[in-house]
Structure 1
Amino acid sequence: MSTGIQLLGFLMCLLGWLLSFMSLLNDSWKSSTFADQLITSVWYDQNLWQSCAEGSTGVRNCKQFESMLSLSGYIQACRALMIIALVLGLLSVILATMGLKCTKLGSTSEESKGKISLTAGVMFILSGVCVMVAVSWYAARVVQEFNDPFYGGQKYELGVGLYLGWAAGSLAILGGGILCTSFKSSAPQTRAQSYNYSASQPQKIYKSAPSENTLSKAYV
């Protein structure tokens, strides 16, 4: 695989990791809508860490969740998955930088670079899967609560943070796949070549020496 394609996979993974970080920090994982009102006076946003309210005057107030243990189980799981994804992504960026063909670190061989690139690609894929699971799980709960006619709480719709997460997960998985396919073993490939020695060399005819009986008969 060429260096340009490998570099493209690395840039896709790097962009996916940055979008994962932006998705985690985004305030709007779910937002409230007022489709039945002509004038919206208050907007409500919520993410994994806090809930915010913004009035028509532009004043925005946010309140962090006080206790992690009092949160729903899926929010705690989404937090853990996003943090794991960011840690894996950071380690993968470091490894992928070492495994690029255009970088030189000491006397690292092509075989070692290929293995490092393969490891980084697998880690990027795992990071993307963690992000996809987190945002998809959160989105499923938002849709479930919105469509539930017996849900008594405030209903929300999908926010910008979820779309950032889906984009981040897709880029990380695709870029990781490119890095995985860039692994090539540099071990020498020996081809079995058979040579017909008798056909390639001129044949020599050896005559046996005459025996003593043959010589004696010749003199008689």
Structure 2
Amino acid sequence: MAAMVFQLMGMFLGIVGWCLESSSTNSAVWRKASHGEAVVTASSQFEGLWVSCASNSLGAIHCHRFKTVLGLPGYIQACRALMIIALILGLLAVILAAMGLKCTKLGSTSEESKGKISLTAGVMFILSGLCVMVAVSWYAARVVQEFNNPFYGGTKYELGAGLYLGWAAAALAILGGGILCTSFKSSRPAKTRGHDYNYSSSQPQKIYRSAPASENSTSKAYV
């Protein structure tokens, strides 16, 4: 019962983490223009992995996709690839986690096989979370580096909401995967300690009886 509760909890956290990963990937606010040295703050500019947007004083937002892929900086291309890999791993992990639940029946699948499926789902959740963690941390490090560089001549940006979504998604995915791995360990049957005694039914058993008392033996009484 406890193992099933752990499985459901890990699967729930993994699904929530995967949803946050999707939201972070599609977010257009991975970085936003800093207003620290700006005089007019009515307009703003922000970017994501796929689009660049700008808003004016009237609240209108105009977004356009990046026109080139190979022309983008290398870290943006790498972050795109990591987020896509994370989404694929997370989706496969959700499917495997549902198949590995103790309350799910898959033909004649044994409990041990379902436990291994659940363990695989947990590992995939952890890998998905690590991919997201690397992507958002790498992107945030570049934003901070450009912001603190006094010789940087372009627009300085700050951390956006998409990065915080990514960090939350990575934490939940890793936590859910760890719980699934723990549930597999707790569901394994405990091995009995001690010596194993093997009895073979093919060989006849020998019965030992005490030797009969001799007729000539007499009892002696000591007073």
Alignment of 1:76 onto 2:77: yes
Match of 2:188 among 185, 188, 207: 185
Q: How many percent identity over aligned positions? A: 61
Secondary structure class of the residue paired with 1:104: coil
Structure 1 contact 13–176 (Cα < 8 Å) conserved: yes
Matching of residues 30-179 of structure 1 within 5 Å:
30-36=31-37, 39-179=40-180
In the alignment, residue 116 of structure 1 is paired with which amino acid?
A: I
The residue identity in structure 1 corresponding to 2:210 is: I
Aligned to 1:199: none
Moved over 4 A (4+): 36-39, 186-191
Q: Distance in 2 between matches of 1:143 and 1:187?
A: 51
1:48-72 deviations in whole A, cap 9, x for unaligned? 1111000110111112111100000
- Shift of residue 187, structure 1, vs aligned partner: 8.3
SS of 1:182's partner is helix
Q: Which residue of 1 aligns with 2:204?
A: none
Cα offset for 1:191?
4.9
> Aligned partners of 1:162, 1:112: CA distance in 2, in Å?
37
The structure number with the bigger radius of gyration is 1
Task: Give the superposition deviation at 1:204.
Answer: 4.1
RMSD: 2.3
Q: 1:206 is matched by which residue type in structure 2? A: A
Contact 1:111–1:186 (CA<8 Å) still a contact in 2?
Answer: no
Maintained 8 Å contact 1:96/1:116: yes
Amino acid at match of 2:32: S
Q: Which amino acid aligns with 1:16?
A: G
Instruction: Write the distance in 2 (CA, Å) between the matches of 1:62 and 1:152.
Output: 23
Count how many residue pairs are aligned between Structure 1 and Structure 2. 204
Question: Aligned-pair distance for 1:38?
Answer: 6.6
Contact conserved, 1:110 with 1:186, CA < 8 A, in 2? no
TM-score (structure 1 length as normaliser): 0.86
Deviates more, 1:119-128 or 1:28-37: 28-37
SS at structure 1 position matched to 2:44: strand
Structure 2 CA distance for partners of 1:179 and 1:163, relative to 1, 3 Å = same
Provide the rounded CA distance (Å) in 1 between the counterparts of 2:112 and 2:189.
5
Partner of 1:205: 210
Between the aligned partners of 1:80 and 1:10, the Cα distance in structure 2 is 24
Q: What is the alpha-carbon distance in structure 2 between the residues aligned to residue 148 and residue 21 of structure 1?
A: 31
**Cα shift readout 1:61-87 (whole Å, capped 9, x = no counterpart):** 112111100000000000000000000
What is the rounded CA distance, in whole Å, between the counterparts of 2:42 and 2:178 in structure 1? 46
How far is 1:101 from its partner? 1.4
Q: Is the 8 A contact 1:99 1:116 kept in 2?
A: yes
Q: For 2:194 and 2:99, locate their aligned partners in 1 and report how far apart those are by CA, in whole Å.
A: 32
CA distance in 2 between counterparts of 1:171 and 1:123 reads 13
Partner of 2:17: 16
State the 1:6 CA deviation.
1.7
SS at match of 2:62: strand
